Amino acid sequence: MTRTLNVSTTQPGAYPTIRDALEVASDGDVISIAGGEYAEPLRLDNRRITLVAADSAPVTISVRHSTEATVICRGGEVTLRGLRIRSSDATAVQAVAGQVKLVKCEVSGGYGATVAATQGAMLTATDVSVTSGQFGVVFDDAGGMLDKCEITGISDDGLIIRVGSNPTIRNCTVANCGYRGIYIYHAAKPTLERCEVTRTGDAGISVASQSAPSILSCWVHETQGVGIRFERGCRGSIEGCRIEGVASPGTLIEEGASVTVIEAGDGVHASRVGINAIEGATQQDEDRVEKLLGELDSMIGLAGVKAEVRALIDEIQVNEWRRSAGLSVGTVSHHLVFTGAPGTGKTTVARVYGQLLKALGILPKGKFKEVSRRDLVGQYVGHTAEKTTTVFEDALGGVLFIDEAYTLSRSTGTGNDFGQEAIDTIVKLMEDHRDAIAVIVAGYTSDMKDFLDTNAGLASRFAKTFEFENYNPDELVLIAQRIARLDDYELAPGVDIGLHEFFVQIQRGESFGNAREARRLLEGMRKAQSGRLRQLGRIPTRDELRSLVLDDLLAAAR
């Protein structure tokens, strides 16, 4: 069974050092380290263990004046998460065989490689920053992956891949290196995808000694030497790369090298490579997304609306995957129009939609703010713009839900109506903060069409219109049953048939309240029940207190 062992110099009952915890840890255990500096070298031989920072406070593992690495992993499976690992004189992290995973770590070293993977090791690094050291990261007869990592401030070569190593390097930036950015030699076969190499003392990417890399959609710029160089006897490919601001000839392929070159098209852009490849991309909570979609599915009726919401979520997710892959992504508006009669679930769906956008990383807060005309329109010239702006800014990072939005376009007959000023202000603010908020306007179908015509730019701000249809009698019965159950009531036998008959016969004009009618009817049934139970002349039983009977329905319907 996996255990979590706590390390802290101040917490009672915690281990005072990381090595103390390692001595008692078993395979699969997690060592959670409190913030602070731990001046202790770690030797992890054939261990299957995770070391993780306990909270937001920095955890620094450092060694000074030593020729050995700060953290050495020989064999086993080791994960290091959220740590600062430093060596003043030598390697910071060394992986010898086995598997080592670095996640959201900051690593700095001295002489030699800051991070080294050797003897068949599999090194995986995600969101890792490598700063200072003679060499940044070295793969020597090793494999693995670097994803969204930055290697900068290196005195010699930033990234070395040699002796048959075949890692995948993607969405990484190698910058400010004293010699070469990436040096590939001794029959190495790495794949470089969407990487940025810049500000190097010599070549950006140098390939030698029978190596055969694949270099895809990379951006090499502002280097003192050529952008990419292949020496005699090397093979490989250069596809869709941009070489700018480098020494002539830009790409140098020596005689005797066999390299396939496919020039970059107009669609390749520098902003979608390196660690900037994910600029604008978001962290998605997929479990939360599925849970929220489950809540949406549990709502009664609304099949068309549910399908439309799912289609929007699918589009957002795919766009984020495209962005992370370095592909172009079109502008997507998250503003919506909800039309339909009252009580059809517009507010509930709007709340879930806001939480979905938060879980998808689109909106940072997912906050829901519901307003109406009186919250936006002022009483004198200039007051409306001020009120509307205050409301809008308070909703930034979440959803602004404007119910009965069409009332903004209707004159009150007082002679000084500022509803149009509110509309114009909203249009401008939606443009100024297009990615920081989701605005949803709601109201009757016919009235909302007129509302969208009040400003030339209003309709174009909204991505889609969702039509909320009236619930049918069967759905209204289910809604009434759910309301009763949530309020800790039970419907006696036969009441559901009576409810269905009531909802079949009720008048359904444009202002029909749908779920509100069901709730109003249940409130009337509870009042009828109260009068009925008071007349018993005794304290009702628990079952009697919970039960709503057909007579209660008949009394409420009258």
CATH of residue 335: 3.40.50.300
398 and 509 part of one domain: no
208 and 318 part of one domain: no
Q: Is residue 143 part of a domain?
A: no
- What pLDDT shows up at residue 313? 84
Q: Is residue 538 part of a domain?
A: yes
- C-alpha separations of 43 from 95, 107, 124, 328 in Å: 11, 17, 19, 45
- What pLDDT shows up at residue 283? 60
Please enumerate in sequence order all residues whose Cβ is within 8 A of that of 408, keeping only pairs 6 or more positions apart, or say none.
373, 376, 377, 402, 419, 420, 422, 423, 451, 454
Structural domain boundaries enclosing 527 = 473-557
- What pLDDT shows up at residue 414? 47
pLDDT at 522 over 60: yes
pLDDT tens, residue by residue, 447-461: 888 888 877 777 878
117 and 60 part of one domain: yes
CA–CA separation, 196 and 326 (whole Å):
12
Give the lowest-confidence range in 178-187, 337-346, 377-386, 514-523. Answer: 377-386
Please choose, from the candidates 478, 491, 509, 493, the residue with its C-alpha nearest in 3D space to the C-alpha of residue 556.
491
Phi/psi of residue 346, nearest 5 degrees = -60, -45
Q: What is the crossing angle of helices 495-505 and 515-534, to 10°?
A: 130
337 and 456 part of one domain: yes
450 and 302 part of one domain: yes
| Straight-line distance from the first to the last Cα atom of the chain, in angstroms, rounded to the nearest whole number | 63
298 and 367 part of one domain: yes
pLDDT tens, residue by residue, 470-513: 888 888 889 888 888 888 898 888 888 888 888 888 877 666 77
pLDDT tens, residue by residue, 109-163: 999 999 999 999 999 999 999 999 999 999 999 999 999 999 999 999 999 999 9
448 and 535 part of one domain: no
pLDDT tens, residue by residue, 9-52: 888 889 999 999 999 999 999 999 999 999 999 999 999 999 99
| Burial of 186: CB neighbours in 10 Å, binned 0-12, 13-18, 19+ | middle
- What pLDDT shows up at residue 100? 97
pLDDT at 320 over 90: no
pLDDT at 245 over 70: yes
CA–CA separation, 111 and 126 (whole Å):
24
297 and 439 part of one domain: yes
87 and 186 part of one domain: no
Indicate which CATH number applies to the domain containing 97: 2.160.20.10
Q: Is residue 264 part of a domain?
A: yes
CA–CA separation, 335 and 423 (whole Å):
15
**How many Cβ atoms are within 10 Å of 501's Cβ, its own excluded?**
14
pLDDT at 464 over 90: no
The better pLDDT of the pair 271, 544 is held by 544
Question: In the listed set 419, 453, 468, which residue is the last one of a domain according to the structure?
Answer: 468
262 and 187 part of one domain: yes
- What pLDDT shows up at residue 8? 93
122 and 11 part of one domain: yes
265 and 314 part of one domain: no
Q: What pairing do the DSSP bridges indicate for beta strands 235-239 and 258-262? A: parallel
Total domain count for the chain?
A: 4
How high is the mean pLDDT of the chain? 87
Question: In the listed set 279, 300, 328, which residue is the last one of a domain according to the structure?
Answer: 279
Indicate which CATH number applies to the domain containing 511: 1.10.8.60
Cβ–Cβ < 8 Å for 357, 366? yes
Q: Is residue 144 part of a domain?
A: no
Q: Is residue 139 part of a domain?
A: no
Q: Is residue 141 part of a domain?
A: no
Q: Is residue 146 part of a domain?
A: no
pLDDT tens, residue by residue, 329-380: 666 778 888 888 888 888 889 889 888 888 887 887 778 889 888 888 877 6
Cβ–Cβ < 8 Å for 298, 351? no
Q: Is residue 142 part of a domain?
A: no
- What pLDDT shows up at residue 159? 98
Question: In the listed set 405, 437, 468, which residue is the last one of a domain according to the structure?
Answer: 468
